Amino acid sequence: MAENLNVNIVSPSGEVYSGEAISVQVPGSLGQMTILPKHAAILSSLSKGTITVNTPHGENTDFVIESGFIENVNDSLTIIIENILEN
Amino acid sequence: MPSTKELRARIKSVSNTAKVTGAMQLIAASKMRRAQQNVLMGKKYAETIQSLLSNLSSSVDLEKVNIPLLETREVKNKLMILITPDRGLAGALVGNVNRKSLDVIQSSNEKYSVLSVGRKGFRFLNSRDQEIVDQIEVPDKPEIADTLNISDFAIEGFLEGKWDQVDLVYSEFINTTSQIPKVQTVLPISNSEEIESSTSDYIYEPSDYEVLIELTPKYVRSQIYQSILEAFASEHSARMVAMQNATDNANELIGELTLDLNKARQETITAELLDLIGGISALEGK
């Protein structure tokens, strides 16, 4: 069993999501992408779209965002967003 | 010695004051808790965005490319964003921040324009003939969206060349009993706090340069938002402490006045007794 991603989604009004995930789909500025465990270190800006966090329990959590940034280093994934349009 | 009637009236008026300050203390305490919470909540975002920024600026060769918000140019005009409370009754807090802003303005060789956030600072500088470009009020429970007009105003003016430096003046929140007036330069973004991070093998999308261009205004916004949160936490903490002191003083005064009242009451009783005894002995002596 591969290790999971450690996901933190942070906004100015606090932590929006914090927990483990099998994979995370984000609307990268160059197109939709999916981050899986052992992904190379990446820092990307995000455009308008939906972030989907797939938890180990088989649940999906969606966040609709306007813009943001994602950083992933050693399976620790941080997404910062200024505001969430919809949860 | 005042009469018992006068003393009773004074005790009543002081205890009414104590009731009012006590209520204000409770209100300030609950607002303070929320405001302090907000500062903590916002910190994570501010720190993350800061670490991304230092990561990026060590990757991008800043000599070769031009990032407008990082550009240091000769300073001719400055903008000060003065963040003060709307209301007083917060101890020395308002005075300290206002005095700091005046110090900064007077000791600067360059001309300052002031953007006032909060009424107290506006009134203070306005009465001292300082040019105030705009006055903006922020709701009590600010979201970052409520502060974007402030940051966008500062950023746009910087890009248009209206000012070459933007300083924030606000009271930094240390803890409930300690708030210190602080001056912080937000534009141009200073690169001094470069942290050595393992940036070697990052993939940047679209490119490090483009991400940095997009990140810089977000960083400025988060800095300004965070200082406004701190200013609010400072304001409510200072007010809570001031009101607590006022309530304590009032209660002490009530104690002293009650003592005086009892003394005065005893004195009248003694005098009456003496009168009675005098009367009886006069009757007996007949």
Q: What are the two backbone dihedrals, phi and then psi, of residue A14, each rounded to the nearest 5 degrees? A: 125, -175
pTM over 0.90: no
- ipTM greater than cut 0.90: no
Band (pLDDT 50/70/90 cuts) for residue A70 is very high
Mean pLDDT of B56-75: 80
Band (pLDDT 50/70/90 cuts) for residue A1 is very low
List helix spans (H) across chain B: 4-59, 93-107, 119-126, 144-160, 208-284
Kind and range of the H or E element at B214?
A: helix B208-284
Residue B254 confidence (pLDDT): 96
Of the listed ranges B63-77, B94-108, B265-279, the least confidently predicted one is B63-77
Q: What are the two backbone dihedrals, phi and then psi, of residue B54, each rounded to the nearest 5 degrees? A: -70, -35
Band (pLDDT 50/70/90 cuts) for residue B21 is very high
**Which residues from B are below 8 Å from A67, CB to CB?**
214
With CB atoms and an 8 Å threshold, state whether B52 touches A71: yes
Residue A7 confidence (pLDDT): 93
Mean pLDDT of B187-196: 67
Q: Which of A7, A13, A33 best tests the B interface by mutation, with the highest count of B CBs <10 A?
A: A13
Report how far residue A78's alpha carbon sits from residue A62's, in angstroms, rounded to the nearest whole number.
15
Report how far residue B151's alpha carbon sits from residue B83's, in angstroms, rounded to the nearest whole number.
13
Give yes or no for residue B192 having a pLDDT over 60: no
**Nearest beta carbon to residue B205 from set A13, A44, A80:** A44
Kind and range of the H or E element at A39?
A: none
Number of folded domains that form chain A: 1
In the chain, the amino acid numbered A84 is I
| DSSP reduced 3-state for B209 | helix
Region for residue B37 given its phi and psi (left: phi exceeds 0; alpha: psi -120 to 50; beta: otherwise): alpha
Query: Would you call B144 an interface residue with chain A, using a CB distance cutoff of 8 Å?
Result: yes
**Nearest beta carbon to residue A29 from set B45, B145, B205:** B205
Name the residue among B179, B186, B176 with its Cα closest to residue B153. B186
Q: Which residue of B has its CA nearest to A73?
A: B202
Query: Would you call A14 an interface residue with chain B, using a CB distance cutoff of 8 Å?
Result: yes
Residue written as tokens 């209660």? B251
With CB atoms and an 8 Å threshold, state whether A13 touches B49: no
Residue B113 burial (10 A CB sphere; 0-12, 13-18, 19+): middle
**Which residues from B are below 8 Å from A72, CB to CB?**
none
Region for residue B28 given its phi and psi (left: phi exceeds 0; alpha: psi -120 to 50; beta: otherwise): alpha
Contact indicator for B60, B67 with CB cutoff of 8 Å: yes
Report how far residue B261's alpha carbon sits from residue B268's, in angstroms, rounded to the nearest whole number.
11
Query: Would you call B131 an interface residue with chain A, using a CB distance cutoff of 8 Å?
Result: no
pLDDT in tens, B230-275: 999 999 999 999 999 999 999 999 999 999 999 999 999 999 999 9
Any idea what the Cα angle at residue B212 is, between residues B207 and B214, rounded to 5°?
100
Nearest-Cα distance to chain B for A51, in Å, is 17
Structural domain span for residue A14: 5-86
Report how far residue B7's alpha carbon sits from residue B262's, in angstroms, rounded to the nearest whole number.
10
Give yes or no for residue A69 having a pLDDT over 60: yes
Contact indicator for A77, A70 with CB cutoff of 8 Å: yes
Report how far residue B161's alpha carbon sits from residue B113's, in angstroms, rounded to the nearest whole number.
13
User: For residue B188, is the peptide bond before it cis, meaning its omega torsion is within 30 degrees of 0?
Assistant: yes
**Which residues from B are below 8 Å from A10, CB to CB?**
44-45, 48
pLDDT in tens, B138-189: 888 888 888 889 999 999 999 998 899 999 999 999 998 889 999 999 888 8
Mean pLDDT of B208-214: 86
Give yes or no for residue B196 having a pLDDT over 70: no
With CB atoms and an 8 Å threshold, state whether A43 touches B52: yes
Report how far residue B214's alpha carbon sits from residue B244's, in angstroms, rounded to the nearest whole number.
46
Report how far residue B164's alpha carbon sits from residue B89's, in angstroms, rounded to the nearest whole number.
36
| B17, B18, B23, B29: CA torsion to nearest 10 | 130
Sign of the torsion formed by the C-alpha atoms of B10, B15, B18 and B19: negative
Of the listed ranges B62-76, B99-113, B134-148, B229-243, the least confidently predicted one is B62-76
**Which residues from B are below 8 Å from A45, CB to CB?**
205-206, 210-211, 214-215
**Which residues from B are below 8 Å from A82, CB to CB?**
144, 218, 221
Nearest-Cα distance to chain B for A53, in Å, is 19
Contact indicator for B28, B20 with CB cutoff of 8 Å: no
A79: CATH: 2.60.15.10
Name the residue among B272, B282, B210, B265 with its Cα closest to residue B7. B265
Mean pLDDT of B54-82: 83
Report how far residue B120's alpha carbon sits from residue B126's, in angstroms, rounded to the nearest whole number.
10
Band (pLDDT 50/70/90 cuts) for residue B198 is low
